Structure 1
Amino acid sequence: MTRRLLTHLRHVDLAVPDYDEQREFYAGVWGLTEVANDTGLSFLAAEGSPEQYVVRLRKAQEKRLDLIAFGAADTGDVDALADSLIAAGVRLISTPGELGTLGGGYGFRFFDVDGRTVEVSAEVETRRHRRIEEKEAIPVRLSHVVLNSPDLNRTRAWYKQHLSFALSDTLSSPRMGELMHFMRINPQHHSLALARGPHTSLHHISFEMRGIDEYMRGTGRLLRAGVRKIWGPGRHLAGDNTFSYFFDPHGNTVEYTTELEQLDEDAWHPHVYDLSQPEVADQWGTANPMNELVAKESFNDPDRGCFVAPPV
């Protein structure tokens, strides 16, 4: 196995026109903690995570995915990745150097094949975090992010070639072919998944809960608060994780999950799961049926930030 230069998913940054409403949602009913707020930027941490923040909100006229940030083990790996990307002709936004964002660190940014901004960093200051207690139904950490791509296999090949993401599993259907690839950079079944969609956009952001009870309590809290549920509660077959999907105030899909599968990478062989089989989408059979209407809910709006770097 090729030595990976990425270690984990750090944070997902969103530009939002409805900034105050989004801050209230994520720091309120969703259960994150606002740790800094400065001139239209809000940094939101998960109480169980050492990351400085897992979501950043930026006030903007247009909704977009600002960036996805991954960690590296050290500055040497950051430099090695930058050199590799430059040699391969990948378009860098910045070269490796000291970061001016919360927690500092050393890193750089670049565009992926679809034009999304990706950041890789090391030596970011860790945040004092804590153990999430029994029945405390707030996110422990960021789990994974899923992206829509109009050319699914081109995007998969790019992340494999340039960032050493390995394929864990694929969702397919007899009528539509391959629909989603689950990709990993560590033993977690997926830190990134790629979904086939009509345009480049964010599919969903997923947050890990302490356990099944906390996951269900959080799901119930959102339902009681009137947050619009898209799909769930249920349990996927690929990754073996639970799921409850909701809309944030501006139509981005966010998920509560728990118990995402940890793989023995030396022994693992990717599966191709037939999504027309109901147990593939939901092993429990408790969620509303997966159909084309549910799938379209996560297409999101076309991303206006492709090949346009965020201002901060």
Structure 2
Amino acid sequence: MTAAFRPITHLRHVGIGVPDYGKALEFYKNIWGLQPVADDSGVTFFATPADPEQYVLRVRQDQDKRLDLIAFGVNSPEEVDELARRLAAGGITLDREPDKLDTPGGGYGVRFFDPDGRLVEVSAGVAQKPFRELEERESVPKKLSHVVINSTDVAATKAFYETYLGFRLSDWLGDLMCFMRSGTQHHILAISRAPSVSLNHISFEMRGIDEYMRGTGRLMRAGHRPLWGPGRHGPGDNTFTYFLDPNENVVEYTTELETIEDEEAWEPRVFDSTSPQSQDQWGTGGSMTETMLPVLLKQTDGGLWTPSPI
């Protein structure tokens, strides 16, 4: 498998299944700041006004709390076909062969399971929607920033995304978490060591520091106490505030994520996972172990190795 095949352009959307569908819709629309753009029986697609992607989050009613899928974009249908060919050559069973998509925006895509059993979709040719620049002080998500997944074998999961999807390593946090990129953004995917396979968190980019803080304040005024934050991470140099949604998924507001402009010159760094400065440069969020880590350690995923019904 050649490292020259680097098809992934960006993170399109994340799909989740939730037992309490009504509370999830209320949270993401009226508190988190996303816009419902399409819905069907038991599924709603949420977008942001500033992103041409048709949607960045899909919420589906399910009896189990689960990660339905993570969706990435590529430039052409030919790259979708080439990816499918490489996966098949590597003995990876496809969940859905390359074909037209029937979700908002259409397009052409393929689905497969990563080594941990989570479903991944890669697509091209999805129609874009109208979008605009966010205004000053408009404290709603600008775009989907990144997704972090929990794995019992970080090295194997990392190798899969490098080998087949062309991801590159940006940095390590000790030997606990690796940060992976597909372009100049420091990471659109990170893989964290955990006792079980599950979703770690979904992160949304805000317009700037002021909008990030205003969004954080809106959540707090609505009675949602931060799990961790406000603060600024070492790896990625981005701001963070983490919250629990009504179904106990961890979601993050962030901004100012580091960019890597010189691909060839970049050397991955290893940040000390025990250093307070690595966890939070500002020192305002406290230690992750105090609040967020216990929540992450009890996360479970009811959808591993199971195709999404949509």
TM > 0.5:
yes
1:146 pairs with 2:143: no
8 A Cα contact 1:252 1:300, kept in partner: no
1:302 corresponds to? 300
* Alpha-carbon distance between aligned partners in 1 of 2:145 and 2:183, rounded to the nearest angstrom: 12
Instruction: Please state if 1:190 is matched with 2:187.
Output: yes
1:280 to 256, 278, 281: 278
Alignment deviations for residues 2-42 of structure 1 (CA, whole Å, 9 cap, x no partner): 24111110000000110011001001110000001110010
Match of 1:175 in 2: none
- Checking the alignment, whether the CA contact within 8 Å between 1:36 and 1:42 is kept in structure 2 is yes
Q: Could you tell me how far apart the structure 2 residues matched to 1:108 and 1:196 are?
A: 27
Equivalent residue pairs, number: 307
Match of residue 246 from structure 2: 249
Question: How far has the Cα of 1:289 moved from its partner?
Answer: 2.0
What is the identity, as a one-letter code, of the residue corresponding to 1:229? P
Corresponding residue for 1:104? Answer: 106
The match for 1:209 is 206
Q: Paired residue for 1:120, among 113, 116, 122? A: 122
User: Amino acid of the residue matched to residue 61 of structure 1?
Assistant: Q
Query: 1:288 Cα deviation (Å)?
Result: 2.2
Amino acid of the structure 2 residue aligned with 1:273: F
- Inter-partner Cα distance in structure 2 for 1:161 and 1:115: 17
Give the letter for the 2:289 counterpart: N
Equivalent position amino acid for 2:219 in 1: L
* Large movers: runs of 4+ above 4 Å: none
Counterpart code for 2:272: D
Structure 2 residue ranges without an equivalent (≥5): none
- Distance in 2 between the 1:16 and 1:201 partners? 14
Counterpart in the other structure of 1:48: 50
Q: Secondary structure at the match of 2:162?
A: helix
Q: For residues 286 and 233 of structure 2, what CA distance do their matches in structure 1 show?
A: 13
Deviation of 1:81 (Å): 0.5
Q: Cα distance, 1:162 vs. partner?
A: 1.4
| Equivalent in the alignment of 1:60 | 62
Q: Deviations over 1:255-276 (max 9, x none)?
A: 0000101102121100010021
Offset of residue 292 of structure 1:
5.9
Asked if structure 2 preserves the Cα contact closer than 8 Å seen for 1:11 and 1:142, the reply is yes
Q: Distance in 2 between matches of 1:277 and 1:287?
A: 13
Q: 1:37-83: CA deviations, max 9, x gaps? A: 11001000011111000000111111100000000101111111111
Q: TM-score, normalised by structure 1?
A: 0.96
Q: Indicate which of 227, 230, 235 corresponds to 2:232.
A: 235
Give 5+ residue unaligned stretches, structure 1.
Answer: 173-177
Q: Is residue 10–residue 51 contact of structure 1 (8 Å, CA) maintained in 2?
A: yes
Q: CA RMSD in A?
A: 1.0
